[in-house]
Chains A and B, each alone.
Chain A
Amino acid sequence: MAELWQGLMKAIELIVTLDPEVLEITVRSLVISAASCAITALICLPLGSLIHFNRFRGKRSLINVIQTLYSVPTVAVGLFVFLLISRAGPLGGLGLMFTPAAMVLGQVLLLVPVVLGLVISALSGVDKAVPETAVALGASKIQVTALTMMEARFAILTAIIMGFGRAISELGLSLMVGGNIRGFTRTITTAISLETSKGDIELSLALGIILICVAMVINFLLNRLQNRYY
């Protein structure tokens, strides 16, 4: 108990004094997750509306598949990305292995099904009269899509924030394709996982506290957004 208490005090000290290592790892985690999230959004917003606004055969099944992929384990994606971007793999020439870019790529693959599924359900949640009204107001096809998305903006933002939450708390993938390289690919989760064993309890605790704070902020935002539906 004393050890935990001491560690906790030290951890808080690290956070309050803005320890450069804690700061660096935190900022890196946030930036990588934000980037994954943004790229995912860039993919999912158009793709989601494309799927939602078009009728085609197998649409239902496609949505089912997307929803099944919600729960794909991070290590499975990690293995896939590893095989893909390792020098000996098909994308080896890009030299992405053990870089933040690899982590972003993996996280994007991990997030796309979740965010895509949530974006589609966000769009289906919009009153059918919205696109109709948009057309009647003289909207072109693209403008109809934009207006419908605008109506679903809170649900879409919720989807993206949830994606961010998944990205920042994910470990297996970051470890496998990032490699936990100090000063380059070490993020909050990989640091906690590997540095604990090296005895950097304070650092791990500090990062753990930060991660919990991030989770709390995310939850708070989600709640705020939930309340915006009327």
Chain B
Amino acid sequence: MGVIETVNLGHSYNGKTILKNVELNIPRGDVLALIGPTGAGKTMLLRLLDLLEEPSSGTIYFDGVNVTRFRNYRLEARRRMAFVQQKPIVFTMSVYDNVACGLRLRHEKGETIKRKVDDALELVGMTEYRDRNARLLSGGETQRIAIARALVTAPEVLFLDEPTANLDPVSTSKVEELLAHIIQERKTTVVMTTHDMSQGQRLAGRMGVLIKGELQQVGNTEEIFCSPQSREVAEFVGIENILNGVIIEKDENLATVRIDGSAIQAVSDCGVGDKVHVLLRPEDITLSRAKEKSSARNVFQGRITRVAPVGALVRIEVDCGFPLLGVVTRRSAEELELTIGNSVYASFKATALHIIRRWN
């Protein structure tokens, strides 16, 4: 059993459903990033897990104890965890006193407090700030103090709510480095929320995708990015080609999917007649002017309908009986003369496609 487990967890506020049917199992030592669009209920889920708020329905087990039922255990359970808010505040005291706060609340001895606080300050690299007034620190420094304040109690579970959302890029990378270091050194169970998928990828081993209050998918990074289990997750993780089709033929695990009159070959366990979404990352599409020899099973001719440069890349929309979006570098776009109206070949491998069932 994981250190935290939830069963059918739901929460609503003022008649509005914020979370529903969340089933989560977090094993000890796990680093889980909750991703999802703004307003998906990520922060609320963290607050429920840290026992800062009581759920409207469902059960939370902390270390095997039903903390929704045994309410007297909540304070003790909460004291074994720590929470760093999205916009942490520090108390009007010295940096040292701020970091010592959690230990004092737990009635630790003076010498222990001193030792642990000094260690924590060193960990976050704020030793020289020890006697400063915490209220006069910058955003990044405040964030580091908040992390030290949370870590100093050696929590079994550390919750981080958007740890870098309010920071400038330099502070962000500093804090991220710090977190990566902590995760590696301390082997603490970490549950964090982030809207920055790459950050989740950098820091976490596992990710959970929360959309409109529902936990759509939990899995390791590759699963989330390459094999999303629903259209919503696919959209959120940036899979921009989502095509509706029906499987018309199956040979071993190679399926033929009909999409608007075209047939695409893909790897899938779905059976003939299943309605499916075909998911394809733009990066996996190769564009060329002439029909090339390649190992790709799928090659379609089409006409370029739109060209949109984004940074060093160019996004190219092609109409080949169905819409496709591809990405090439600026240079390739120039060399291949990929301009509106030109005809191109789009090719992609059967294994690049990800097929999920659809129910409508």
| B85 interface neighbour in A132, A140, A143, Cβ under 8 Å | A132
In the complex the two chains form, what is the Cα distance from A129 to B93 in whole Å?
Answer: 15
Q: How far is the CB of B171 from chain A (nearest CB, A)?
A: 20
Cβ contacts under 8 Å, B105 to chain A = 134, 137-140, 143
Query: Of residues 207 to 221 in A, which have CB atoms within 8 Å of B's CB atoms?
Result: none
In the complex the two chains form, what is the Cα distance from A205 to B153 in whole Å?
Answer: 60
In the complex the two chains form, what is the Cα distance from A230 to B135 in whole Å?
Answer: 8
Contact across chains for B75 and A151 when beta carbons are under 8 A apart = no
In the complex the two chains form, what is the Cα distance from A132 to B86 in whole Å?
Answer: 12
Q: Does A136 contact B (CB under 8 A)?
A: yes
Query: Of residues 110 to 165 in A, which have CB atoms within 8 Å of B's CB atoms?
Result: 127, 129-130, 132-140, 143, 147, 150-151
Q: Does B87 contact A (CB under 8 A)?
A: yes
Q: Mark B136-158, 1 if CB is under 8 A from A, else 0.
A: 10000000000001100100000
Q: How far is the CB of B49 from chain A (nearest CB, A)?
A: 12
Query: Of residues 15 to 72 in B, which have CB atoms within 8 Å of A's CB atoms?
Result: 50, 52
Q: How far is the CB of A190 from chain B (nearest CB, A)?
A: 41
Q: Does B106 contact A (CB under 8 A)?
A: yes
Q: Does B358 contact A (CB under 8 A)?
A: no
In the complex the two chains form, what is the Cα distance from A132 to B149 in whole Å?
Answer: 14
Query: Of residues 72 to 89 in A, which have CB atoms within 8 Å of B's CB atoms?
Result: none
Complex: chain B residue closest to A153, CB-CB? B92
In the complex the two chains form, what is the Cα distance from A134 to B50 in whole Å?
Answer: 13
Known contacts A136-B50, A138-B153; decide if A129 and B75 are in contact (CB<8 Å).
Answer: no
Query: Of residues 143 to 191 in A, which have CB atoms within 8 Å of B's CB atoms?
Result: 143, 147, 150-151
Contact across chains for A137 and B149 when beta carbons are under 8 A apart = yes
Complex: chain B residue closest to A126, CB-CB? B92
| A135 interface neighbour in B52, B89, B106, Cβ under 8 Å | B52
Q: How far is the CB of A50 from chain B (nearest CB, A)?
A: 20
Most buried by A among B87, B102, B153: B102
Q: How far is the CB of A149 from chain B (nearest CB, A)?
A: 11
Known contacts A137-B101, A138-B78; decide if A129 and B106 are in contact (CB<8 Å).
Answer: no
Count B-side interface residues using an 8 Å CB cutoff. 23
Q: Mark B170-195, 1 if CB is under 8 A from A, else 0.
A: 00000000000000000000000000
In the complex the two chains form, what is the Cα distance from A132 to B87 in whole Å?
Answer: 12
Q: Does B356 contact A (CB under 8 A)?
A: no
Q: Does B73 contact A (CB under 8 A)?
A: no
Q: How far is the CB of B158 from chain A (nearest CB, A)?
A: 11
Cross-chain pair count, CB within 8 angstroms: 50
Q: Mark B82-99, 1 if CB is under 8 A from A, else 0.
A: 110101110111000000
Cβ contacts under 8 Å, A150 to chain B = 91-93
Contact across chains for B92 and A151 when beta carbons are under 8 A apart = yes
Cβ contacts under 8 Å, B75 to chain A = 138, 140
Cβ contacts under 8 Å, B50 to chain A = 136
Cβ contacts under 8 Å, B102 to chain A = 137-138
Q: How far is the CB of B47 from chain A (nearest CB, A)?
A: 9
In the complex the two chains form, what is the Cα distance from A195 to B50 in whole Å?
Answer: 67
Cβ contacts under 8 Å, A138 to chain B = 75, 78-79, 82, 102, 105-106, 153
In the complex the two chains form, what is the Cα distance from A200 to B256 in whole Å?
Answer: 113
Most buried by A among B87, B89, B136: B89
In the complex the two chains form, what is the Cα distance from A140 to B102 in whole Å?
Answer: 11
Q: How far is the CB of A64 from chain B (nearest CB, A)?
A: 27
In the complex the two chains form, what is the Cα distance from A184 to B15 in whole Å?
Answer: 65
Contact across chains for A133 and B85 when beta carbons are under 8 A apart = yes
Cβ contacts under 8 Å, A129 to chain B = 85, 87, 89
Query: Of residues 75 to 125 in B, which have CB atoms within 8 Å of A's CB atoms?
Result: 75, 78-79, 82-83, 85, 87-89, 91-93, 101-102, 105-106
Cβ contacts under 8 Å, A139 to chain B = 105
Contact across chains for B82 and A136 when beta carbons are under 8 A apart = yes
Q: How far is the CB of B157 from chain A (nearest CB, A)?
A: 12
Contact across chains for A136 and B85 when beta carbons are under 8 A apart = yes
In the complex the two chains form, what is the Cα distance from A138 to B50 in whole Å?
Answer: 10
Complex: chain A residue closest to B51, CB-CB? A135
Cβ contacts under 8 Å, A132 to chain B = 52, 85
15 pairs, A vs B, C-beta closer than 8 Å:
A129-B87, A133-B91, A134-B101, A134-B105, A137-B101, A137-B102, A138-B75, A138-B78, A138-B82, A138-B105, A138-B106, A140-B105, A147-B91, A147-B101, A230-B136
Residues of chain B touching chain A, judged by Cβ–Cβ distance below 8 Å, are: 50, 52, 75, 78-79, 82-83, 85, 87-89, 91-93, 101-102, 105-106, 135-136, 149-150, 153
With A138-B78, A150-B93 given, name 7 new contacts (CB 8 A): A127-B89, A129-B85, A137-B101, A138-B102, A138-B153, A143-B105, A151-B91
| A-B interface, 5 closest residue pairs, ranked by CB to CB distance from nearest | A138-B79, A136-B83, A137-B102, A129-B89, A139-B105
